[in-house]
Amino acid sequence: MKFSILIQTSRLIHVLSSLWILILALVILVDVFGRILFLSPLPGTKEILQSSVIAVAFLQIPLAVFSNSMLRTTLLTDALPATAQRVLRSAGALLGLLLFGAIAYAAYPEAVEAFQIGEYEGEGSLRIYTWPVRFLIVVTAAFSAVAYVVMMIADWRGDLDDANALTTH
Amino acid sequence: MASLIFGILALLLVMVFLGVHIAVALGTASAIGVYLLLGSSDIALSVLSGTAYEALRKDIFIVIPLFVLMGEFISRSGAAQDIYSIGNRGLRKLPGCLAVATVSGNAVFAAITGVSIASAATFSRIAYPEMVALGYSRSYALGVVAGSACLGMLIPPSILMIIWAVLTEISIGALFVAGLLPGLILASLFCAYCIITAIMSPETAPSCPPPSAETVDHARNRSELISGLSVVALILIVIGGIWGGFLTPTEAAGFGAIGALVVGIVKGMRRKEISTSIFHAGKITAPIMILLITASMYSRFLAMSGAVDVIQGTLFSFSESPIVIMFMIFVIWLVLGMFIDATSIILLTVPIFAPMSAIIGIEPLAFAIFGILVIEAGLLTPPFGLLIFTVKASVPDKSVTLGEIFRGSVPYWIMILLVAVLVVVFPVLATFLPKSLI
Amino acid sequence: DNFTFRIGSGHPKGPAPYVTTMSDFFAAEVKRRVGEETEHTVNFVEAYGGSIAGVAETLESVQSGILDFGGFCVCFEPSKMFLHNFPYYLGFGPQKSSDAIAAARQVYDENPWLKTVMEEEYDQVFLGLGVWDNYHLGTTFEWETISDLSGVKIGGAGPNLAWLEYVNALPVQSTLPEGYLALKTGVYDGWLMVPSAYNGFKFYEPAPYYTLIGFGAMPVIMLTANQKKMESLPEEVRNIILEVGAEWEAQNGTAMDNVQDFGLGKLEENGATIKTLPESVRAEWAQSLEAFPKAQAAEAEGRGLPGLAVMQGYIEAAKAVGHDWPVEYQLQ
Ligand code: NA
Ligand code: NA
């Protein structure tokens, strides 16, 4: 499998973001115990959660594409011959490439602007700059677009199962 | 305008049926829709990037990965197995006992999250394998998991109810209480259905085996006791925290995840099992989160195209009879429920429908409960039933098909709609508790 | 021609009075006048409550053209609209909305940059100012002294959270639609909010203790139009929009004064316990904010914005409309 490095990378960022969720649970715990026991909650918890939830969602898209776990319905297409199914899968992957490519393309200038003007959210408790998450969306959306291309190529080479095998734990 | 709206709806349907990833279909259709609407690719792109950044920017959404994580830990720790063994013993004499236990448990879990897909995801992992292991028919087991997840939106805290109350200026507290009685009725109906089906066709849900020598094994009893107590404690912390006013759903989810990790460690999970749980929780969460993002793109396209005005005009041009209007609202919600998420449906339709229902003399609390039920039922309908997809993505058994889940859910879909109609015909079901308590 | 405009806001119509006036006054009046006075007609697609853009995205949505018209609180744009938040930096300002908006109007006229920056940087035309009614504090529990608020988690829009430092409360930035549940579960125990929205979002249910503190009415709402769209319109339509925008601003002061009275009455009717903060405590609280305007003015200047001129202008303009500042803010 030629693209295994890409799949390994998607696994790595998936693992990191999954761990990050566990860390967020700990952050919540510290916040609540701080509030109840010491009357001093952790400042900025809400802001951290808000930014993290988008980051986590986007970091996990590439592996969802590689592992074929994006939700879809195959009620109708299952009845078609194999080649027709392959053509439809490729068309779907092309749309995925276009959509995520478009998101990356459109989000890029916004990320640059957010960086230049130092855009932030949250006030009083903690200022969270928006550019890291905005750039993360650009990079992960682009990666997802690439993932669709890889899956399309793997499909025509008959490598889909190999690609899938690389995504399991 | 109407032709554009219905054209995009048709395009979306075609893409979904041709097997395009649903998230991709939603995003693509909305971008094309905005482009055709305004003739500007810049604006279409802005909708994509803006929604990508903003759609999930609320701390409440973190409950989805956290509760999925909690479910992963519990189901991989073996605690779920133990709990179902206990439930098995407690309800053993009851036909379809595990299904009945699933209904109750699912309602409780959904009540924690306020987001019914999280409980569907959790119970797909906890309850489904147990039921199948006991020889339940797959479709029956899948149906009860998907169907009973709908209970959550009737039991506070419910995000749908808060949105509804704010939009219509009715009391949130009253609406919360209004959902309790219909929720209990629905849960009882679900249980009755499970029991009756089990009696009518025992092969669908075989009765639990009598206690064997193995189940009186002391070590096993001890393990079950530990599991039982710790999971009860976990649920008490999570639910008690919310009801007692100590925790938000977000915080409760954090406690749930860490608490479940502790239970898992007590039950003998080690680094390998823990990391497997974390890895798989992410794999369940990701497709749901991206779907939420693109569903939000789609609801923005509908708002931009003024789909609501088109619908209102069309409705009033048909008839002004209360029964006809209510029937049309009912059908529109069912149809929308096939395509978009419940929150978006409420945001898009309630501002039009609530005044219409007031004009034709429907009690506002009853109308709200009716609406929430009908819209929730949409989560079970093809081609875009969010709960169905959640169950499919979450069950450990990858041979499960969407068709099986849809088939199993049909009875629940009917029962939900039945209760919805009951609430409109007998508004006292919704108004009795709020009027006597508040 | 028939024009279809998309108008939107992050807050819903009804509970948020500025949105109600956007719909019932601005949109209705533009539609009526264009229909009567020109050979054109106008239709509005109204998208409030965040159905197209949330509170923090409305400015950007008008900029990109997703919305033709948008109404938003500058409090959700802390970095792009840093200085436009000046009323928040000067707490205990004019108590009546009509006074506050009159004073702010004078500041906008004396510092045209406040308006022109919208065109130069954000591709939108400034149509008029809106205002929140007077800010007070609602809590889930009854409090007697300032020390009762120490460590209590209190929600607010953002720039107003600095007001809480005096009482050592823990401020959290949040938006109105999230508030009810947060108060209900006791994660927040208080909310800095105006009576109209406090009533509209039903915060009196979980947090029935409403203390009248009078941080001031805040003229921080902006109604804008996409610039390209405006330029594409026939002149007579464009002029009607500009005129109605100005009229919208002009009727906002009185409208919000009424909303404040109505909101307080409703809160009482709905069972809230309303108390007034003793004058001595209020004076002390105001005194505690002394350093805040100075710091904000300095930060604005550091960003290359006319912080001193704008903020000093508001202090003076408020005096001119008859406001007695409980603390003499020194900006330098
Ligand atoms: Na719930
Ligand atoms: Na913004």
Instruction: Choose among B436, C158, C195: nearest CA to A128.
Output: C158
Cβ–Cβ gap A64/B290 under 8 Å = yes
Backbone phi and psi for residue A126, each to the nearest 5 degrees, phi listed first: -165, 135
Residue B32: name the closest of B15, B19, B17 by CA.
B15
Using omega within 30 degrees of 0 as the cis cutoff, is the peptide bond preceding A41 cis?
A: no
pLDDT at site B405: 92
For ligand 2, the distance from its centroid to the CA atom of residue B264, given in whole angstroms, is 42
Q: Cβ–Cβ of C66/B304 closer than 8 Å? A: yes
**Sheet of C136-139, strands arranged across:** C170-173, C153-156, C190-193, C136-139, C209-212, C273-276
Which chain B residues are within 8 Å of A71, Cβ to Cβ?
21-23, 287-288, 291, 389, 392-393
Chain B residues in contact with A28 (beta carbon < 8 A): 250-251, 253-255
Is the peptide bond between C177 and the residue preceding it cis, with omega within 30 degrees of 0?
Answer: no
What's the gap in Å between C76 CA and the centre of ligand 2?
7
ipTM: 0.86
Half-sphere exposure of A85 (CA within 13 A, CB side): 11
**Min distance C15 CA to chain A CA atoms (Å):** 23
Whether the per-residue pLDDT at A95 is higher than 60: the answer is: yes
Is the Cβ–Cβ distance between A140 and A61 less than 8 Å? yes
Judged by a CB distance cut-off of 8 A, whether residue A13 touches chain B is no
Radius of gyration, alpha carbons of chain B? 22
Note the pLDDT tens digit of each residue in A132-159.
999 999 999 999 999 999 999 999 988 7
**Closest residue of C to A31, CA-based?**
C187
At residue B113, the pLDDT reads: 52
Angstroms from A93 CA to nearest CA on chain C: 28
Largest CA distance in chain A: 66
Band (C79; pLDDT cuts 50, 70, 90): confident
Contact C84, C25 (CB under 8 A): no
When comparing pLDDT for B161 and C32, which is higher?
Answer: C32
| Sequence ranges of the domains in chain A | 4-168
Top-confidence residue, B174 or C234: C234
Instruction: Give the number of other Cβ atoms within 10 Å of residue C37's Cβ.
Output: 12
**What are the C-alpha distances in Å from C8 to residues B49, C12, C23, C49, C118?**
18, 9, 9, 8, 17
CB contact, 8 Å: C23 with chain B? Answer: no
Average pLDDT over residues B411-428: 94
Helix, strand or coil for residue B93? coil
* Single-letter code of the amino acid located at A7: I
Chain C contact partners (≥3 CB pairs within 8 A): A, B
Instruction: Give the DSSP H or E segment for C223.
Output: strand C218-226
Most confident among B159-173, B293-307, B329-343, C66-80 (mean pLDDT): C66-80
Q: Is the pLDDT of residue A76 over 90?
A: no
Which residues, including other chains, have CB under 8 Å from residue C110's CB and lie 6 or more apart? Answer: C309, C313
Contact across the interface for B49 and A77, Cβ inside 8 Å: no
Segment (H or E) for B272: helix B271-304
Say which of A18, A74, A130 has its CB closest to residue B282: A18
Pairing of strands C209-212, C136-139: antiparallel
Does residue A8 sit in helix, strand or coil? helix
Q: Residue B285 has what pLDDT?
A: 81
Q: Chains meeting B at 3+ CB pairs closer than 8 A?
A: A, C
Residue in this structure with the two tokens 């601005």, named with its chain if needed: C26
Domain ranges of chain B: 2-437
User: In the prediction, which pLDDT does B438 show?
Assistant: 44
Report the residue from B166, B249, B300 with minimal CB separation from C52: B300
| pLDDT surpasses 60 at C74 | yes
Three-class DSSP category at A63: helix
3 state SS of B149: helix
Check residue C16 and give its pLDDT. 85
Percent residues over pLDDT 70 in chain C: 98
Rounded to a whole number of angstroms, the distance from the CA of B349 to the nearest CA of chain C is: 11
* Pair of tokens at residue B134: 């006991």
Question: For residue A159, with 0-12 CB atoms within 10 Å meaning exposed, 13-18 middle and 19 or more buried, which class applies?
Answer: middle
Per-residue pLDDT tens over the stretch B50-97: 999 988 887 777 877 887 788 778 777 777 667 666 766 677 778 888
* C20-55 confidence digits (pLDDT tens): 999 999 999 999 999 999 999 999 999 898 889 988
- The angle subtended at Cα C176 by Cα C173 and Cα C182, nearest 5°, is 70
Question: Which of C140, C144, C163 lies closest to C152 in space, CA to CA?
Answer: C140
Mean pLDDT of chain C: 91
Chain A to chain C, count of Cβ pairs less than 8 Å apart? 44
Of A30-34, B40-44, B383-387, the one with minimum mean pLDDT is B383-387
Between CA B370 and CA B385 the distance in angstroms is 19
B417 C-beta neighbours (distance < 10 Å), count = 16
Spatial separation of the C-alpha atoms in residues C61 and C70, rounded to whole Å? 8
Q: Are C205 and B171 in contact (CB under 8 A)?
A: yes
Q: How far apart are alpha carbons C91 and B261 in whole angstroms?
A: 47
Report H helices in C270-332: 279-288, 291-302, 307-320
Q: What would the mean pLDDT of A87-113 be, rounded to a whole number? A: 96
Per DSSP, what are the bridge partners of residue C139?
A: C190, C209
- pLDDT confidence of C73, banded at 50, 70, 90? very high
Residue ranges of A 93-152 with Cβ closer than 8 A to chain B: 95-96, 98-99, 102-103, 105-107, 110, 130, 133-134, 137, 141
- Cα–Cα distance measured from residue C93 to residue B47, given in angstroms and rounded to the nearest whole number: 38
CB-CB under 8 Å, C164 with A124: yes
Dist. CA A114 → ligand 2 center (Å): 10
**Using 50, 70 and 90 to split pLDDT, how confident is the model at B166?**
low
At B132 the pLDDT is 86
pLDDT at B212: 58
How far is Cα C290 from Cα B165, in angstroms, rounded to an integer?
A: 40
Q: What letters, b where the CB count within 10 A reaches 16 and e where it falls short, cover B53-84?
A: bbbbbbbbbbbbbbbbbbbbbbbbbbbbbbbb
Amino acid, single-letter form, for residue B51? T
Q: Which amino acid type is present at position A40?
A: S
Question: Sorting pLDDT into bands at 50, 70 and 90, what band is C3?
Answer: very high
In this structure, of A8-22, B85-99, B322-336, the range with the lowest mean pLDDT score is B85-99
CA atoms within 13 A on the CB side of B369: 38
Do the Cβ atoms of B8 and B33 come closer than 8 Å?
Answer: yes
Q: Cβ distance B157 to B242 under 8 Å?
A: yes
Q: Ligand 2 center to residue A109 CA distance, Å?
A: 14
Cβ atoms B304, A44 nearer than 8 A:
no
Cβ(C70)–Cβ(C298) below 8 Å: no
Higher-scoring residue by pLDDT: B213, B127 = B127
Three-class DSSP category at C143? coil
Instruction: Provide the pairing of β-strand C218-226 with C124-132.
Output: antiparallel
Residue B112: pLDDT band with limits 50, 70, 90: low
Task: Find residue C193's DSSP bridge partners.
Answer: C136
Question: What is the C-alpha to C-alpha distance for residues B275 and B88, in angstroms, rounded to an integer?
Answer: 30
Q: Does A135 reach chain C within 8 Å, measured CB to CB? A: no
User: How far apart, in whole angstroms, are the C-alpha atoms of residue C76 and residue C57?
Assistant: 9
Task: Give the pLDDT band (50/70/90) at residue B227.
Answer: confident
Name which of B30, B113, B166, B352 to mutate to probe chain C: the one with the most chain C Cβ atoms within 10 A of its Cβ.
B166
Sheet holding C41-47, edge to edge: C41-47, C2-9, C69-73, C218-226, C124-132
Comparing A123-127, B264-268, C320-324, which segment has the lowest mean pLDDT?
A: A123-127
pLDDT digits (tens, 9 = 90+) for C239-286: 999 999 999 999 999 989 998 888 899 999 998 999 999 988 898 889
Most confident of B271-285, C142-156, C209-223: C209-223
Residues A96-108: tens digit of each pLDDT: 999 999 999 999 9
Q: Taking residues C135-160, report their average pLDDT.
A: 86
Q: Is the pLDDT of residue B304 over 80?
A: yes
Arithmetic mean of pLDDT, A49-56: 91
Q: How far apart are CA C67 and CA C76, in angstroms?
A: 17
